[in-house]
């Protein structure tokens, strides 16, 4: 403790002085000033240091009680602390040790105030975390220079720490964004693989065109359907699938009229293969739009209707044949009755006349023709019964042979 300077007997007078000092210094500049805490049990030292440092934009907080200083510093951490070593209640070393163990105050620079210029004392202070020493009696320029230097260092340290935290926060957010982006990329790749798989394995032909009706992509089914490879028709007009230009323009008009209504369209149309074959097809055409609802292309799904048309044709022929069989069956049924009557009466007449007569011979001829007619009607009736069985898709020769068996 230094007692060579001016003593102040009443603590209340010191507190009044301290309050006035803080108020006057805080009004010097509207920018945020640095806060300096002075801890010394000698009021004269506090007054002298306050006077030296009060010229600049500082808020000076002199504290005479080191124990009280610990609680005040922890509650409102300053930017720098000037701390006397020799104090009665607790030494400056113990105060410094306590400050450095507190997370809220451990980074605040501490400058020890001492009348002793002993190297061992300085080493001890530095080992406890002090940044510098100021010796008594005070040299104003030295005090100002050391305080300014360590305030600048501390402010730089805080700025660097803040920048580091901001950088770490930015890195963290970037990592999270990258992680999320990777998830999205993986999901997009998986979705793309799924879509490509679906695109390649569809049985229907798929043709993707740009807004100018130029082919941008086709799937393997389209290659098989039209006979062109993807490289042969990519970036070409779809007119190559049409019989002629008029045929193509008619097709485009159907599509355009449908798009004007804003709805997908489905219709049947004859198309042209590479080998010149014209075949029936069914088209489902829809617009492709991006996330902004902007028109970016046309999706056309095409089904080859050749097999369906052939099946429909066979069905119509079968239905017509069935009608013929039904009529034939009805006729045969109606013929059987008179044929049986003619045969019966012929046999009765033949029983009553001489077999050597011409009448008998003629009746025999009639009987032969009746039997032949009966056999024909029998076969026709058998054919009409087979029409609904396994010979439905066969020809008439197959039906006749089946009836004979």
Specify the CATH class of 11-162 in words: alpha beta
* Separation CA 330–CA 381 (nearest Å): 9
Given strand 34-39, what is the order of strands in its sheet? 58-63, 34-39, 80-84, 110-114, 132-135
Task: Look at residue 298 in the predicted model and tell me its pLDDT.
Answer: 85
Task: Look at residue 404 in the predicted model and tell me its pLDDT.
Answer: 52
When the candidates are 3.30.450.20, 1.10.1740.10, 3.30.1360.150, 2.60.40.1180, the CATH number that belongs to 202-304 is 3.30.450.20
DSSP state of 80: E
The residue behind tokens 């008029």 is 246
> Is the sign of the CA dihedral 157, 160, 165, 168 positive or negative?
negative
If we measure between CA atoms, which residue out of 43, 53, 41 comes closest to residue 18? Answer: 43
Task: Look at residue 209 in the predicted model and tell me its pLDDT.
Answer: 87
Contact 170, 264 (CB under 8 A): no
54-64 as b/e, with b when 16 or more CB fall inside 10 Å?
eebebbbbbbb
Task: Look at residue 188 in the predicted model and tell me its pLDDT.
Answer: 75
If we measure between CA atoms, which residue out of 36, 88, 87 comes closest to residue 62? Answer: 36
Three-state secondary structure call for residue 360: helix
Q: Residue 176 burial (CB < 10 Å; 0-12/13-18/19+)?
A: exposed
Domain-wise residue ranges, the chain:
11-162, 202-304, 310-404
Three-state secondary structure call for residue 278: strand
If we measure between CA atoms, which residue out of 254, 286, 290 comes closest to residue 269? Answer: 254
CA angle (369 as vertex; 348, 361 as ends), nearest 5: 55
DSSP state of 390: T
Task: Look at residue 398 in the predicted model and tell me its pLDDT.
Answer: 54
Would you call the peptide bond into 247 cis, given omega within 30 degrees of 0 as the criterion? Answer: no
Task: Look at residue 12 in the predicted model and tell me its pLDDT.
Answer: 42
Q: What are the pLDDT digits (tens) for 205-238?
A: 998 888 888 898 889 999 999 999 989 988 898 8
Task: Look at residue 77 in the predicted model and tell me its pLDDT.
Answer: 94
pLDDT in tens, the chain (405 residues): 443 333 333 334 444 444 444 444 444 444 578 999 999 999 999 999 999 998 778 999 999 999 999 999 999 999 999 999 999 889 999 999 999 999 999 999 999 998 887 888 888 889 999 999 998 888 999 999 999 999 999 989 888 888 988 999 999 999 888 888 888 888 777 777 776 777 788 888 998 888 888 898 889 999 999 999 989 988 898 888 998 989 889 888 888 887 777 678 888 889 999 999 999 999 888 888 887 878 888 888 999 988 888 888 888 877 777 777 777 777 777 777 787 888 787 788 878 888 888 888 888 888 888 888 878 877 777 766 665 444 444 455 455 555 555
């Amino acid at each position: 403790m230094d007692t060579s300077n001016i003593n102040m007997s009443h603590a209340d007078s010191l507190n009044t002085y301290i309050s006035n000092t803080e108020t006057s210094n805080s009004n010097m500049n509207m920018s945020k000033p640095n806060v300096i805490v002075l801890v010394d049990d000698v009021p004269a030292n506090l007054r002298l240091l306050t006077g030296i440092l009060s010229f600049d934009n500082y808020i000076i907080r002199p504290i005479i009680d080191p124990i009280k200083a610990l609680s005040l510093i922890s509650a409102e951490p300053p930017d720098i602390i000037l701390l006397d070593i020799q104090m009665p209640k607790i030494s400056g070393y113990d105060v410094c040790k306590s400050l450095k163990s507190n997370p809220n105050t451990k980074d605040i620079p501490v400058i020890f105030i001492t009348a002793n210029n002993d190297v061992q004392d300085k080493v001890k202070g530095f080992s406890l975390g002090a940044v510098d020493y100021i010796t008594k009696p005070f040299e104003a320029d030295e005090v100002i220079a050391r305080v300014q230097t360590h305030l600048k260092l501390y402010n730089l340290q805080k700025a660097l720490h803040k920048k580091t935290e901001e950088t770490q926060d930015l890195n963290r957010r970037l990592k999270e964004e990258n992680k999320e982006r990777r998830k999205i990329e993986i999901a997009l790749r998986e979705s793309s693989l799924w879509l490509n798989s679906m695109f390649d394995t569809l049985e229907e032909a798929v043709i993707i065109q740009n807004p100018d009706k130029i082919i941008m992509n086709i799937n393997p089914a389209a290659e098989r359907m039209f006979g062109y490879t993807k490289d042969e028709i990519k970036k070409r007009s779809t007119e190559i699938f049409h019989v002629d230009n008029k045929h193509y323009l008619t097709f485009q008009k159907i599509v355009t009229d449908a798009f004007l209504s804003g709805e997908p369209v489905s219709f049947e149309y004859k198309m042209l293969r590479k080998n010149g074959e014209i075949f029936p097809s069914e088209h489902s055409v829809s617009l492709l739009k991006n996330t902004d609802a902007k028109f970016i292309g046309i999706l056309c799904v095409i089904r080859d209707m050749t097999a369906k048309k052939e099946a429909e044709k066979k069905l119509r022929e079968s239905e017509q044949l069935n009608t013929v069989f039904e009529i034939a069956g009805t006729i045969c049924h109606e013929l059987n009755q008179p044929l049986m009557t003619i045969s019966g009466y012929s046999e009765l007449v033949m029983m009553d006349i001489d077999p050597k007569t011409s009448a008998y011979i003629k009746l025999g001829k009639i009987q032969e023709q009746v039997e032949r007619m009966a056999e024909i009607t029998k076969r026709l009736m058998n054919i009409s019964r087979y029409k609904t069985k396994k010979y439905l898709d066969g020809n008439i020769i197959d039906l006749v042979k089946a009836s004979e068996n």
